[in-house]
Amino acid sequence: MQDRYEPRSVEREAQAFWDARRSFHAEEDPARPKFYCLSMFPYPSGKLHMGHVRNYTIGDVLTRTHRMRGYNVMQPMGWDAFGLPAENAAMANKVPPAKWTTENIAYMKAQLKGLGFALDWQRELATCTPEYYRWNQWLFTRLFRKGLAYKKTGVVNWDPVDQTVLANEQVIDGRGWRTGAPVEKREIPMYFLRITAYAEELLGALDGLSGWPEQVKLMQKNWIGKSEGVRLAFPYRLDGEDKRLWVFTTRADTLMGTTFCAVAAEHPIAAWAAKRDARLAAFVEECKQGAVMEADLAQLEKKGMPTRLTVTHPLSGKELPVWIGNYVLMGYGEGAVMGVPAHDERDYAFARKYGLPIPCVIRHPAGDDVPEPWKPEYAGYGTCINSGKYDGLDYQAAVDAIAADLQAKGLGEKQVQWRLRDWGISRQRYWGCPIPIVHCPSCGDVPVPDEDLPVKLPEHLVPDGTGNPLAKMPEFYDTRCPSCGNAARRETDTMDTFVDSSWYFARFACPDQERAMLDQRAKYWLPVDQYIGGIEHAILHLLYSRFFQRVMRDEGLLAISEPFTHLLTQGMVLAETYYRDTPQGRREWVHPSEVQVTRDAKGRIESARRTNDGAEVVFAGVGTMSKSKNNGVDPQALIDKYGADTARFYIIFASPPTNTLEWSDESVEGSFRFLKRLWAYGAKLHGAATAARGAFDRAARLEVHSVLKQANYDLGKHQFNTVASAAMKMLNALEKLPGRTPAADEGFSILVRVLAPITPHICHHLWRALGYGEDVLQASWPEPDPAALEQDEIEYVVQVGGKTRGSLRAPKAADQKALETLVQTSEVAQKYIAGKPVRKVIVVPGRLINVVI
RNA sequence: GCCGGAAUGGCGGAAUUGGUAGACGCGCCGGACUCAAAAUCCGGUGCCAGCGAUGGCGUGUGGGUUCGAGUCCCACUUCCGGCACCA
């Protein structure tokens, strides 16, 4: 074994060994427990970023530890290959998205191989291939026939200059990103998937997901948003006809405090009113300006205008004005709300602004009226007042009584309302999976029959930013109706890329299956035992996947309902940011690698200068790695310099998986240093003759085995950073041993196995070089030896009055009484008791004694 | 705005889930080796006061519960993620 650690050759050799043996190829094996470990597949954007390296290293650690624990492990990898960035790159470089995507995949695949991940490449898939997306189409036609996919209008961002639909991301401060034109809302026909049909089940099943973080389950619960309330009607007469304005409320107990109703600008009443009043028409138009993002809408200044229409209060019979309000969402509930200014913050602000009455109908802790400013208590539950026959009722009694009275009049009933909306999947974009529908003038929307699938996406087009090129391509859209054979037009919208990623985890079980979406192998591998990915996917991707799993179940493809048994959500990777303001007043972001930092005697940053020209720069804290702040760290540069094992070790060691990770080049050096020390120790053992048991063996074994015990505990918590620390502690202990004693070999073989999932290449080499075995992948996971952990004496912490004052050693067998006596006679306690009466003595077995005085 | 998180030395983080706060590492300080540098090795390092023994303070802020709080409760501050067409 050579003295110098050379990661390049060590890594090449280990990877060649795994390739030759097909070490990571997984086969179904009913005799062993299976472990399907999956990291979220990447979008092939060009090259791996640090977030990928982190995600896949975490997945690889889990994969490799489970292998060593005897599981039949499958860890696949694929490409989420459709999407907007390919179209943007296509426009910028005049290259078809397909070519750009394929080249990116090839490069990134080589990078993943270089990192030594235990991936089964035989299962590789890409969502942009017809072999994959034909099953998107197949499933869509099934859902369409069942009514679970349907057409209705949806609202999109419209760029009036480019005449194109914009993604939310392409809207910057309410303007189109390319044209700068103010964005408008536009309603267009779209296909929707009826996820709301599964709302109750998706919500209820969260409780059973014991392997998911509570935080993610809570976010999903709130997103689905079940609320029980009352749907009720305000009757009105219009053009001689009796009509009803329906609203939904969770606060029917406040119904008697209603002083107005408000409808969304897209509501039929708004359209009716706008026809008769130019100012209203202008206001409705104004509401159509701007983007569709909820975050923007929620922060709009609350504005409204009264229509001339009045409605009748369903219980009191009072006439109430109907307003158009820009804060009423057409997409939630009925697109109309009842305004109860005294007990709803938005209604309060609205009524104050427009001088509407604000009668208090719920008693709250601060009194029976609602003076300015608004207080959260006003919206609390309480007893009804000023509400006629409902006075004195509490929330539940009032809701029950009011719902019953409404029902008797045929003007309302209790109803469950969901915040969750059906999933609009139509995208007016080229680089996606074509929606398999043919529009026939006589037969309507006809799903493409199975034998005509897949509807192939032409791969040679280059979009130009003015709408979908498919819609300008008669060779694509001119077709015949599958039903009647007459001329018809093919749908040119493609699917939301979330459709592609909502079932890919299942396809990994049988990516080569040409005759079906899934086969028997999926029944063996699914569900995914461990899923790993960014917290930013906590709601949409994970909820859509849970929905699709149920859709596939109901198609008879799989029996299970939940796709992911355990979920680990990793944190983001951040880096330092530095800038300087140029004389021209421009802010220039300087890459952290180009900055030289000077520190004071305590290591605090004093100043920072740009290395090449000495210009002073300002440290602006840490932030997500981004082009705009010029602080991205390229993992490839790191791998080239230190090797894959150092990159993997650092990323595991720097932070627990769920935390954000703040990048530091200096700390990477420390990780490299550790691996060099590890190598050097291995080389020293390798060159030494085996010695007899030494005097320090007992102490070294105690240390190694107690650290191992803790490491195994931490591994169970997925706290991998302290597992890496444990490896360092083991090496520290072993380096104190004088030679190659039995404890040295035992300890080193434990260390190499603990580290093998994190830094597989160097461990592969050391394991073989020291003759511990042929392949560390085949080794079993180490467990602590109870005999090594035996101790005769225990050190107790001594506290007096809750303050730590020192420690004392006591025999292991000492009981509470013996310890009480021991502590009261001890020098350390005597000093602080100082003759005061001892009230009691608290003993925490094996840890601490507290004398209360 | 709404929903969900996070906050511990100069820095990343640890604390066996209410029991010695700061493990492990980075940085910094001092030393060894070297003609010198790099690499490597050894020692020190929460803050304040003190030559020192030692004493006081200390886990974002303000309260509370407890023999004992980084950990539990209440109220806030700041930062981060998501908000349905980025993936």
Give pLDDT tens digits for A638-655: 999 999 999 999 999 999
**Which pLDDT value is given to residue A82?**
97
Rounded Cα distance between A664 and A574, Å, is 9
Among A138, A125, A133, A144, smallest CA distance to A38 is for A125
A243 and A310 in contact (C-beta within 8 Å)? Answer: no
Find the mean pLDDT for residues A100-118: 97
Residues 535-574 (A) near nucleic chain B, CB < 7 A: 535-541, 572
Asked whether the predicted pLDDT for residue A702 surpasses 80, the reply is yes
Residues 785-804 (A) near nucleic chain B, CB < 7 A: 795, 797, 799, 801-802, 804
**Which pLDDT value is given to residue A149?**
97
Q: In this structure, is the dihedral angle defined by the CA atoms of residues A492, A497, A502 and A505, taken in order, positive or negative?
A: positive
The model's confidence at residue A542, banded by pLDDT at 50, 70 and 90, is: very high
What tens digit of pLDDT does each residue of A391-404 get?
A: 999 999 999 999 99
Asked whether the predicted pLDDT for residue A841 surpasses 90, the reply is no
Find the mean pLDDT for residues A149-173: 92
CA distances from A61 to A157, A276, A595 (A): 43, 68, 33
Q: Which residue is nearest to nucleotide B16 (CA to C1')?
A: A710
Out of A266-270, A591-595, A682-686, pick the least confident. A591-595
What tens digit of pLDDT does each residue of A452-483 get?
A: 999 999 999 999 888 899 999 999 999 999 99
Please give the structure tokens belonging to residue A827.
Answer: 């020098």
Distance A612 CA to B29 C1' (A): 28
% pLDDT > 90, chain A: 68
**Which pLDDT value is given to residue A211?**
94
Q: What share of chain A is helix, strand, coil (3-state, %, to 5)?
A: 40, 25, 35
A24 and A112 in contact (C-beta within 8 Å)? Answer: no
Distance A629 CA to B32 C1' (A): 43
Asked whether the predicted pLDDT for residue A433 surpasses 80, the reply is yes
**Which pLDDT value is given to residue A382?**
87
**Which pLDDT value is given to residue A588?**
77
Find the mean pLDDT for residues A769-795: 92
Q: Secondary structure of A382-441 in the HEC alphabet?
A: CCECCCHHHCCCCHHHHHHHHHHHHHHCCCEEEEEEECCCCEECEECCCCCCECCEEEEC
What is the ipTM score, two decimals? 0.95
Out of A107-121, A375-389, A581-595, A702-716, pick the least confident. A581-595
Asked whether the predicted pLDDT for residue A767 surpasses 70, the reply is yes
Out of A50-64, A420-434, A531-545, A576-590, pick the least confident. A576-590
A171 and A157 in contact (C-beta within 8 Å)? Answer: yes
Strand B bases, protein C-beta under 7 A: 1-5, 10-17, 19-21, 23-29, 39-42, 47, 67-69, 80-87
Dihedral pair phi/psi, residue A236, rounded to 5°: -155, 160
**Which pLDDT value is given to residue A599?**
65
Distance A447 CA to B47 C1' (A): 72
With a 7 Å cutoff on the CB, does A725 touch strand B? Answer: yes
pLDDT higher at A295 or A194: A194
- Count Cβ atoms below 10 Å from residue A244 Cβ, excluding itself: 16
Dihedral pair phi/psi, residue A454, rounded to 5°: -80, 155
With a 7 Å cutoff on the CB, does A299 touch strand B? Answer: yes
> pTM to 2 decimals?
0.93
By C1' distance from the Cα of A732, the closest nucleotide is B24
Among A566, A448, A557, A546, smallest CA distance to A502 is for A546
Q: DSSP readout, A793-839?
A: EEEEEEEETTEEEEEEEEETT--HHHHHHHHHHSHHHHHHHTTPPP-
Rounded Cα distance between A72 and A63, Å, is 10
